[in-house]
Structure formats: structure tokens, C-alpha cells
Amino acid sequence: MEMDKVIGKILQGYQPACVVIAANELKLFDQVKQPSTASQVADNLNLAAEATERLLNALTSLEIVVKKDQSYHLPTEAHDYLVTGGSHSLQQWIQLSADLYPVWGQLSSFIKSGILIKSIMEMLGGDPHKMRAFTDAMHDKALKATWMIAREIPIGDANKMLDIGGGPGTYALEWCKLHNHLKATVFDIAPVLEVTKNYIETYELQDRVDTLPGNFHEDDLGDSQYDLVLMANILHMYDADMSKALVTKAVKAVKPGGRIVIHGFCTNEEQTGPLDDTLFSLNIGMLTEGGRAHPVEEKIDWLKGAGISDIRHFRVSAMPTGVVTGRKISPAN
């Protein structure tokens, strides 16, 4: 291993991210849906021509944009992800990464003090527009994972689903779209559910997906009412004790013989990998009181203690990767 090259590559790691963040912020991708020169893009966006060319050349090196005969264009397969209104748009997710950039710059302060740098709610600032953008980003990022999990788990066995802290309701909506018999309830705080309702209307699933406002720390989730309960991107927001309590409450809502699915960041037992999960554990530590990417074995122990059996852990090629699932022990067993 040539350590100087390894370290050099790591130190340059933020630079490609800055290129994509800047292009997204400037709405540059919209300008290269069709072949355009750097001067045309600069004129349309009121940018400096030479600097714009440098940015476009960097995007070309990153294999995001294609350059031909002094013109640049975004490949058709990238339109859905990078242009405004794309069906799988990552614009809000890229902006969220930009918002986190200053927080990462204070990593050493977090390591010295162990005190969070900025809470997620402080980042959103009580601003409904920021809350909407954050929820939209969660939807965009979750789409791929919903499909991959559905291939691994017999979602179609369920009739009634509870999506705890479901945000935009992406999992519930996508799984209901896959299975016409499935009905789902999305549980979250009232302001978030206003966004959820928009998504339900967009999917035209008002007859099978509804919402339930509440606080999962304080409110009851029901007793044996659902044969499929999902907790996605929740547990890593809290410390081990609080997460264990939430899992116990969620399992209570599962019917005997029903299934619980936990999707989120989770490390190996030594907490040294996978890399994305260890980096996220640092990230969420700077944004929450006690949040972390809990080890897989810890989550499995919580489920076992709450009465879940046939537990399976697997990873999907999405973000986050970790999935833990099992069935509630039936009284007959």
C-alpha cells in the first residue's frame, strides 16, 4: 500500500462533492439537458464564462456530463436524477449534503467535547420550506431501497402495514403500489404528515394509505393491529436505551405471526464497518444527542428480547444498506 497515495485520495474526497453541490445549486444540470457550450450556459445563468467551463470540465471528468465538439450535455439516463422535476430527483439530497458540509468542518470540536455541533431540528430551523425540502430528500433517497427490500422480503403476505416515522410515506406507498391488497398507515408528527398527504395524492392511493399524527416516544402505536410494521431511518437518531424502547413498542403493534422490518444504518459488531455506516455514525453524532449507527447484533438482541423470531439480517445496494427483519412469535408457537 502506497500510503501517500491513499491519504492524498482521501484528502481530495471533498472536492468532487463540491463540484456536484455547486452545479446543483446553480441549476447547471437543467442547462445541459441539451448540448450547450460553456458560454451559453454562463450567459443563461449569468455566470463567469471561464469559471463555468472549468466546472463543466470537472463534471466531465467525473463522468456526469459528456463533452463533444466544445458542447456539454447531460446523458439522458441522468435526467431523472439531476434535472428539476426528474422522477428520481436527487436535487434535495444534494442540497442536504451541502447543508451538512459546515458541520463536518467542526468534526474536531465534536471529538474534543463529545457535544453535538448542531441539531437536525436546528438545521431545519422550524422553517416549513426546509422541512419540506428535507422530507422530499428522504423520499428521493428511499425509492431504490424500497424496491430492493421488497425483492428480499415477502411484503405481499401482509394486508395491513404501519410505517412508523414514515416521513413522506415512501415505503408504504411503493409497497402498496406493488401489492393491490395492502393497506398502510403512515405515523409521524403532524407537520410532516402534511407533506405525506401530498405524496399520497400524487400516488393516487388515498383509498389505501392514510396518516396518523403522533409522537412515537409518547404515543401508543397499537396492540397487535398490523401484520407488517416498518421502522426506517429512525433508530440511528437515538441512543441504545431509547432505540430499544422504540423497538419494543413497535413489536407490540405487530400481530402474532406478523413481520417487523428495520431499515437503517448499522455497523458490524466491532463498529469498524461498513465505511458508509461508520461515517454516518460520526455524522449523526454531530447532529443528535446519542444517535449512532447501532451494531447489527444489538438490533437483533432488541428484537429477540421483544419476542421476534426467524430474524434475518441482510444488506441492499442502496443507502442505507442495513435491513433486519423477523416475525413475531405466535401464541401457537
CATH code of 261's domain: 3.40.50.150
Distance CA 216, CA 222 (A): 11
Q: How many CA atoms lie within 13 A of 115 on its CB side?
A: 2
Who has greater pLDDT, 331 or 36? 36
On the question of pLDDT at 125 being above 60, the answer is no
Q: What CATH number does the domain containing 18 carry?
A: 1.10.10.10
Per-residue pLDDT averaged across 259-274, rounded? 97
Q: For residue 93, name the pLDDT band (cuts at 50, 70, 90).
A: confident
Task: Clarify whether residues 232 and 297 are in a common domain.
Answer: yes
Per-residue pLDDT averaged across 278-302, rounded? 97
Instruction: Specify if 315 maps to a domain.
Output: yes
Per-residue pLDDT averaged across 274-295, rounded? 96
- For residue 73, list its beta bridge partners: 66
Task: Clarify whether residues 21 and 168 are in a common domain.
Answer: no
Instruction: Specify if 93 maps to a domain.
Output: no
Instruction: Specify if 262 maps to a domain.
Output: yes
- For 115, residues 6+ apart whose C-beta sits below 8 A from its C-beta are none
- For 276, residues 6+ apart whose C-beta sits below 8 A from its C-beta are 265, 319, 320, 321
- CA 95-287-148 angle, to 5 degrees, is 60
CB atoms within 10 A of CB 202: 10
Q: For residue 136, name the pLDDT band (cuts at 50, 70, 90).
A: confident
Instruction: Specify if 102 maps to a domain.
Output: no
Per-residue pLDDT averaged across 183-191, rounded? 95
Phi, psi values for residue 83, rounded to 5°? -95, 160
Task: Clarify whether residues 70 and 163 are in a common domain.
Answer: no
- For 160, residues 6+ apart whose C-beta sits below 8 A from its C-beta are 182, 183, 184, 185, 225, 226, 227, 228
Q: What is the DSSP letter of 66?
A: E
- CA 208-212-214 angle, to 5 degrees, is 165
Instruction: Specify if 163 maps to a domain.
Output: yes
First-last CA distance in the chain = 54
Task: Clarify whether residues 313 and 189 are in a common domain.
Answer: yes
Return the percentage of the chain with pLDDT > 90, whole number. Answer: 86
Task: Clarify whether residues 169 and 61 are in a common domain.
Answer: no
Per-residue pLDDT averaged across 82-86, rounded? 92
Q: For residue 126, name the pLDDT band (cuts at 50, 70, 90).
A: low
Segments forming the whole domain that contains residue 40 = 3-88
On the question of pLDDT at 332 being above 70, the answer is no
> Which of 47, 73, 88 is where one domain is finished?
88
Q: Are 246 and 216 in contact (CB under 8 A)?
A: yes
Q: Which grid cell sits at 171?
A: 415505503
Who has greater pLDDT, 83 or 135? 83
On the question of pLDDT at 44 being above 70, the answer is yes
The pLDDT assigned to 26 comes to: 98
Type of residue numbered 214: G
Total count of domains within the chain: 2
The pLDDT assigned to 281 comes to: 97
The pLDDT assigned to 88 comes to: 81
Q: Which grid cell sits at 179?
A: 401489492
pTM: 0.92
Task: Clarify whether residues 47 and 168 are in a common domain.
Answer: no
Per-residue pLDDT averaged across 310-320, rounded? 96
